Amino acid sequence: MATLTKTEISSSEGKVNRRSLERPRRLRQSFALRSLVSETDVNPRNLVMPIFVKDGSHIKEQIDSMPGIFRFSPDEYLDKEISEIQSLGIGGILLFGLPSKKDSFGSEAYSDKGIVQRAIERIKQNNPDLVVISDDCMCEYTDHGHCGVLNQKGEVQNDKTIELLGKIAVSQAKAGADIIAPSAMMDNQVLAIREALDLADLESTPIMSYSSKYASAFYGPFREAAGSTPSFGDRKSYQMDPSNVREAIRETRLDVEQGADIIMVKPALSYLDVIRAVRREFDLPLAAYNVSGEYSMIKAAAINGWIDEDRIVDEVLHSIRRAGADIIITYFAKDYARRWKNLEP
């Protein structure tokens, strides 16, 4: 005898039962029930807070386009911020440096006395257990604002740049960085950095590669924060075209082959499909960067009273996790972790 389908069973038992067979609302009746069947979590230990450090002393200045985010000088102002981040149980920090002087080679980026190197040393001295990730790029350090060195025609030179990215990585790792995060989008940069680190006996230092980084207008507020707007042209000859997703798989595969330990999709929100595609294809830990523009849009609307900021942030972070990211780099890390802590019993 053929087995009955659910509809056939219910229709033989009457109308009321048929209506009661599938009722998703049963599991939504209380906070406790909803929590029990919740599929995705955002834990502060998976969040990374970006930090801007600036040469000077006694500086804590707010970034105009990013309310609530500051630049810190590497002194007790920075110490206080870092201790707070650590006590909130946040997974790590991602450091960006604003040097006091820039040149065409971005030499402050690989100076042992550079702003980021001094900040790393200080942070590791005071908070040795906090994961410190350092951005490996040149745009904050070059006088022209591009992510590499230029030739006469003003084009970014790939192979000269990756040599310097290797130098930067070694100086950051020597200063104590736990993870190096190259964001310049030069071809073969992961290999060059891996080789440079290994040659300097830093083979244990992992690389978190910005493997698929798009040429995005969502970086606008960051460029104000870091003073890294290119003085001419744009970054489209090295960052990816937003219309591509197969290319993200290709870029990620190349970085994995070159020795990346953690891969990344950036930005996050307009690229959730890319996060999903990369997640399906690779088994490495995957980070997503919830970038400055994504932060500023929410802040601006919240300041105007147009949206409920906390609920929006929860929704955004959960969507990035649902898409498949393990790690989320987000300017909301502190805000979220503070609320998470308050919910703890």
**Is 236 assigned a catalytic role?**
no
Q: Cα(131)–Cα(42) distance, rounded to whole angstroms? A: 18
Cβ atoms of 282 and 263 within 8 Å: the answer is yes
Residue 48 sits in the site that holds ligand PBG (CB under 6 A): no
Considering beta carbons, is residue 185 or 191 the nearer one to ligand PBG? 185
Please report how close the Cβ of residue 97 comes to ligand PBG at its closest, in angstroms. Answer: 11
Alpha carbon separation from 47 to 131, 318, 335, 343 (Å, rounded): 11, 12, 11, 17
Q: How many CB atoms lie within 10 A of CB 161?
A: 25
Report the DSSP beta bridge partners of residue 214: 240
**Is 266 assigned a catalytic role?**
yes
- Three-state DSSP class for residue 33: helix
Q: Which stretch binds ligand PBG (CB under 6 A): 133-141, 165-173, 195-203, 333-341?
A: 133-141
Considering beta carbons, is residue 10 or 219 the nearer one to ligand PBG? 219
Residue 238 sits in the site that holds ligand PBG (CB under 6 A): no
Nearest Cα residue to 197 out of 208, 186, 187: 208
Please report how close the Cβ of residue 84 comes to ligand PBG at its closest, in angstroms. Answer: 20
Residue 139 sits in the site that holds ligand PBG (CB under 6 A): yes
Q: How many CB atoms lie within 10 A of CB 268?
A: 26
String of contacts with ligand PBG for each residue 272-301, x by CB under 6 A: -------------------xx---------
Cβ atoms of 225 and 52 within 8 Å: the answer is yes
The contacts of residue 198 (CB under 8 Å, 6+ apart) are none
Q: Which one of residues 52, 105, 110, 219 is an interface residue with ligand PBG (CB under 6 A)?
A: 219
Considering beta carbons, is residue 46 or 330 the nearer one to ligand PBG? 330
Residue 222 sits in the site that holds ligand PBG (CB under 6 A): yes
- List interacting residues with ligand PBG (CB under 6 A): 135, 137, 139, 147, 183, 219, 222-223, 228, 235, 291-292
Residues carrying an active site annotation? 213, 266
